[in-house]
Amino acid sequence: MPGTDDANHLLRRKIMGYIVAQAIFAVTELDVIEHLGDDAVEVGELAHRAGADRDALQRFLRVLVAEGLFEEPAPGVFAVTSLGALLRRDAPGSLRHLTTLMAGEAYQAWSMATHSLRSGQPAFDVVFGKPMFEWFNDHPAAAATFDTAQAGLVELRLLPLLERDWSEVGTVVDVGGGNGGLLNELLARHEHLRGVLFDQPQVVEETKLALTKEETRQRCEVVGGDFFSGVPSGGDAYVLAQILHDWNDEQAIAILRQCNQAMPPQGRLLILEQVIPEDGEPHPARLLDLHMLVLLGGREREESAWRRLLTAAGFETLHVSHSARSSLIEARPVAG
C-alpha cells in the first residue's frame, strides 16, 4: 500500500494510539477472549456470547488482528493469538488486571494530561476534584476494583521478593500492603515468617477478608494507619511494593523516614518497583512514569535516583536486582 511506511502514517498511528488501548479495554470488558476460549468462532456467534453488536465486534477485532491479539483464519471467524491469550483471566501472569488499572478513572484522568505537563501536578485531582486515594475512600466499589487489580498483578512482580533469602527474617511488615495479596503469597511460601500488613484503615478492613488461608491469617497482623505519621515497629524487614512511585521525592522521603524510624538497626528495607533503565531505550517503566505523574504526581525512577532518595532518607543501598517484571532494591539504615 503506498505510503504505509512513511512518517505521516507512522505519526498518525501514534496519535491515534488510544484507540488501540480502548479497543483492548472494550473487548476485555465484554470477555471476548474468555468467550473464544481455544476455538475459532464465527463473529455472529461470538457477538451473541459476548453481548456485542456483530458488525462493531468484527470492526474492533480487525483492529486487534492488526495489533496481533487475534487472528482471522477465515473471513469473519476469529481466534485468540498467544499475545491475546495473555489477557485471559487464568493465564499465568495475566495482564487483564493491567487493562482494569489503565481504563476507567485512570483513562479519564489522562484527558487532562496537559495540566500535568504544565504544572507537574496530577491531572486526576483536576478531573475528580481530589487526590486519587482520597477519591477512592469515597468510592468503595472503585477502590475494591483497584485493589483487586493491584493484587492480580502481584504474581508478575513478586518473583524477586520470593527468590530472596528469607532465613534471617522473622517478621516482615508490608507497608501499603493493599488487600494482602503479596503477604499472602510470601507467608504461604515461607512458613517461618510472620507478617504485619499495614495500610489505610478503610483498606485493611477489606484486607482481613482477603487473607484467604486460615493458617496464613494466624501469622499475620493487620494494622490500619497513615504511613506519613508512622509505620508499625518491630519488623525485621519492611516491604514497600509499588508504594513510593505513587509519591513525589519529598513525600517518598517522608515515608522512607517513617520506615527508618520504625526498624531496628539491622533491619532491611525491600523496595519493589519498576526501575527505569538509564540507557534511554523505550521501556514500560517510562510510560508508567508519566502515568504516575498524571494520576498521583508520583514518578518512576532510575537506579541512580533511587540511591539518592535512599541516602536522603538515611539508608544505605545494599543491592539492586532487576528482573523482567520488577526490580528489588535492598537497603539498611545507616548507623547513627
Ligand X SMILES: C[S@@+](CC[C@H](N)C(=O)[O-])C[C@H]1O[C@@H](n2cnc3c(N)ncnc32)[C@H](O)[C@@H]1O
Positions annotated as catalytic residues are 245
Instruction: Find the shortest distance in angstroms from Cβ 151 to ligand X.
Output: 6
**C-alpha to C-alpha distance for 210 and 175, rounded to whole angstroms:** 16
Of the residues 28, 200, 216, 327, which one makes contact with ligand X according to CB under 6 A = 200
The size of the interface with ligand X (CB under 6 A), counted in residues, is: 18
The contact mask relative to ligand X for 171-190 (x = CB under 6 A, - = no) is -----xxx---x--------
Instruction: Find the shortest distance in angstroms from Cβ 323 to ligand X.
Output: 15
Instruction: Find the shortest distance in angstroms from Cβ 318 to ligand X.
Output: 21
- Please list every residue from 98 through 157 that binds ligand X, using CB under 6 A: 133, 150-151, 154
Which residue's entry shows cell 490500619?
224
**Which amino acid, 122?**
P
- Please list every residue from 216 through 245 that binds ligand X, using CB under 6 A: 226-228, 241-243
First and final C-alpha spacing in the chain: 69
> What distances in angstroms separate CA 34 from CA 8, 23, 87, 102, one per listed residue?
36, 16, 9, 20
Q: Is 327 in the site for ligand X (CB under 6 A)?
A: no
Which CB sits closer to ligand X, 80 or 173?
A: 173
**C-alpha to C-alpha distance for 294 and 291, rounded to whole angstroms:** 5
Q: Is 246 in the site for ligand X (CB under 6 A)?
A: yes
Which CB sits closer to ligand X, 125 or 246?
A: 246
Which CB sits closer to ligand X, 18 or 228?
A: 228
Cell of 267: 533491619
| Chain length of the chain | 336
Q: Is 297 in the site for ligand X (CB under 6 A)?
A: no
- Yes or no: say if 221 and 170 are a contact pair by the CB < 8 Å rule: no
Cell of 304: 541512580
**C-alpha to C-alpha distance for 195 and 131, rounded to whole angstroms:** 29
- Yes or no: say if 238 and 272 are a contact pair by the CB < 8 Å rule: no
Cell of 30: 465484554
Instruction: Find the shortest distance in angstroms from Cβ 330 to ligand X.
Output: 17
Which CB sits closer to ligand X, 24 or 272?
A: 272
Contact residues for ligand X (CB under 6 A)? 133, 150-151, 154, 176-178, 182, 199-200, 203, 226-228, 241-243, 246
